[in-house]
Amino acid sequence: MKAGGIALIVILVAAGIVAFNTFYTVSEAQQALVVQFGDVKTEVREPGLKVKIPFIQNVHVLDKRILDLDIPAEEVIASDQKRLVVDAFARFKIIEPKLFYITVNNEDVARQRLRSLVNANLRQVLGNVQFSAVLSEQRALLMQRIRDAVNTEAQGFGINVVDVRIRRADLPEENSQAIFQRMETERKQEAQQYRAQGAEEAQRIRANAERQRTVLLSEARKQAEILRGEGDAQATKIYADAYGLDADFFEFYRSMEAYRKALGKEDTTVILSPKSEFLRFLSPVN
């Protein structure tokens, strides 16, 4: 009984090992290759539970989803000899598992090969256009050209390149600083020009205001002189008319006014002859 139990356990363990090496599963996001002594025997593209020959055949699982590929930033020289640092990325998909396994074997090698292809085509395509084209609406067309060129070569690895995009395209740091300084200088020149124009306009406005002020003051003085002259003329006329009505009273009134102006202050002293014509209205009546 004891020996029979041990044999049963051995048989179960052996059966488990055989089953483990016979059955395998493929998920919906995977595709598999059954390899026997280095040769691909079967391509498995449908998900589910699968069977292989144990211990002789191995299963090589590959992802069938769209995969991302980061491209290290590279410095590229455009056709106008301007340098720019390009940071790009790509997306690819394994469409021929057998060809992929034979040519590159695994994803790590495939990614290295794709990075080289993308960098080479970036340099080739962007090196034939001017720097401004990379920053314009032509950028999408350039990316399509790069993708098509990379895809043509990647098909030899059983890979389909879905997309290639530039994440960032900047000038090198030293160029950026030089451009910034040049822009700063240009802005300062523009500011100085605006200040000069403003000063010129302010001077013109002040000169115009001063001219208008001078004209207005001249017109005011002229009008004042005219009114003063008219007033004097009218006063003279009134005096003349009054004198014509009663010459004696007018003479008396004018003399009283002269007395008031000449003798109105307490500290005023006037020394005149009693027979002076000026004091005739102050002399006692004979």
The pLDDT profile of the chain, 286 residues, written as one tens digit per residue, is 567 677 777 777 777 777 667 888 899 999 999 999 888 888 998 998 888 888 888 888 999 999 999 998 888 888 888 888 888 999 999 999 999 999 998 999 999 999 999 999 999 998 888 888 887 888 889 999 999 999 999 999 999 999 999 888 777 666 556 566 777 778 888 888 888 888 888 888 988 888 888 888 888 888 888 888 888 888 777 777 766 676 667 777 777 777 677 666 666 676 666 666 666 666 555 4
91 and 52 within one domain: no
Domain span at 78: 67-171
71 and 157 within one domain: yes
Residue 186 lies in a domain: no
Whether the Cβ atoms of residue 100 and residue 94 lie closer than 8 Å to each other: yes
Residue 263 lies in a domain: no
149 and 78 within one domain: yes
Q: What pLDDT, on a 0 to 100 scale, did the predictor assign at position 213?
A: 87
- Domain termination residue (choose one: 171, 199, 217): 171
Residue 252 lies in a domain: no
Whether the Cβ atoms of residue 281 and residue 254 lie closer than 8 Å to each other: no
- Looking at residue 147, its amino acid is R
- Domain termination residue (choose one: 171, 190, 221): 171
Residue 94 lies in a domain: yes
What are the helix (H) ranges across 97-172?
Answer: 97-103, 107-126, 131-134, 139-154
| The pTM of the whole model exceeds 0.95 | no
72 and 113 within one domain: yes
d(CA 29, CA 21): 22
122 and 102 within one domain: yes
What CATH number is associated with residue 78?
3.30.479.30
- Domain termination residue (choose one: 171, 205, 237): 171
72 and 55 within one domain: no
- Looking at residue 80, its amino acid is D
Residue 115 lies in a domain: yes
For residue 58, list its beta bridge partners.
Answer: 35
- Number of domain units in the chain: 2
130 and 72 within one domain: yes
93 and 126 within one domain: yes
d(CA 197, CA 219): 33
Residue 244 lies in a domain: no
154 and 74 within one domain: yes
d(CA 121, CA 247): 122
SS3 assignment, position 269: coil
d(CA 80, CA 276): 112
Residue 264 lies in a domain: no
113 and 82 within one domain: yes
Residue 207 lies in a domain: no
111 and 36 within one domain: no
71 and 127 within one domain: yes
Whether the Cβ atoms of residue 165 and residue 114 lie closer than 8 Å to each other: no
SS3 assignment, position 266: coil
